[in-house]
Structure 1
Amino acid sequence: MRLHLITVGEPRLKYAQLGWDEYEKRLRRYHKVQVSRVSGKTQQAESEAVLRAAGRAPLVLLDPRGQEFTSEGLSAWLDAQAVSGTGELAFAIGGPEGHTDALRAQAARLWSFGGLTLPHDLAMVVLLEALYRASTISAGEPYHRG
């Protein structure tokens, strides 16, 4: 399956750049990965840029209002998307103000990392690691020991 990762900006902190690069490389063993970095002067402009970048792919927004997944649950959900014929999923992390209500309304799913607020750079690394972990679970590989 193709995973399109959309972020507002790039990781700025060294640890986040290294983490992003490592998990993006690992994730590419299981999926075709596309990365889009968008920007905007306002929350509305950012949301419009995310929507344009996603194109026709079902949009999954990282949002505190969303559903939480266990690693196994995320793996099962991704597998179900692949079986259903969904060829691509777009995952988007918003900017400091988050996503607009209009963008949330157009999303196929809202996904929450839980009640914590994470810095943007760390959220980007967590997204990639979670997708990688779910992929290894689906492949029956030993990375996940739960």
Structure 2
Amino acid sequence: MRLHFITVGEPRLDYAKRGWEEYHQRLTRYHKLKTTRLKDRADPTQDILKATGNAYLMLLDPRGKQFTSEELSMHLEQVALSGHGEMALVIGGPDGHSDELRSKAHFLWSMGKLTFPHDLAMVVMLEALYRASTIAKGEPYHRG
């Protein structure tokens, strides 16, 4: 399955750039990847929908469902088996997502009750997806 990362803005801090590059590279073993970086503007909803196309739309949103690593792995497998060839994972800007965008999403994913800086959220998302992908393949990265 192709993972399409759509971010409002891009990592600015050195640790986040390095983390993004590291986990993005690791994920290429398991998925085809695409990244779209959108400019931070008042309401990027239409830009996000245009970038998403017909992909399965999964927003990072504090109102969403929290996963264990194993549950995220199963969710990725279920989406792939449902016939979606692409999953668009969206990290919004500092104001989060609009109600319109949330209503059009297939799924809202919460990484927890904590609020993360934008740069850190990007790295945590990629690491979680990498971990979930190794679980699906039965590889030893995850020791839960």
TM-score (norm 1): 0.97
SS in 1 for 2:142: coil
CA-atom RMSD in angstroms: 0.7
Q: Which amino acid aligns with 2:65?
A: Q
Tell me what 2:129 maps to.
Answer: 131
CA distance in 2, matches of 1:67, 1:16: 24
Q: Which amino acid aligns with 1:16?
A: A
Aligned length: 144
> Is residue 79 of structure 2 the alignment partner of residue 81 of structure 1?
yes
Show structure 1 runs of 5+ residues with no match.
Answer: none
Tell me what 2:120 maps to.
Answer: 122
Tell me what 1:2 maps to.
Answer: 2
User: How far 1:99 sits from its partner (Å)?
Assistant: 0.3
Q: Which amino acid aligns with 1:69?
A: F
Runs of 4+ in 1 over 6 A off after TM superposition: none
CA distance in 2, matches of 1:8, 1:33: 17
SS in 1 for 2:12: coil
Q: Is the contact made by 1:2 and 1:34 (CA closer than 8 Å) also made in structure 2? A: yes
CA distance in 2, matches of 1:51, 1:114: 25
TM-score (norm 2): 0.98
Show structure 2 runs of 5+ residues with no match.
Answer: none
User: How far 1:40 sits from its partner (Å)?
Assistant: 4.2
Tell me what 2:111 maps to.
Answer: 113
User: How far 1:130 sits from its partner (Å)?
Assistant: 0.5
Tell me what 1:95 maps to.
Answer: 93
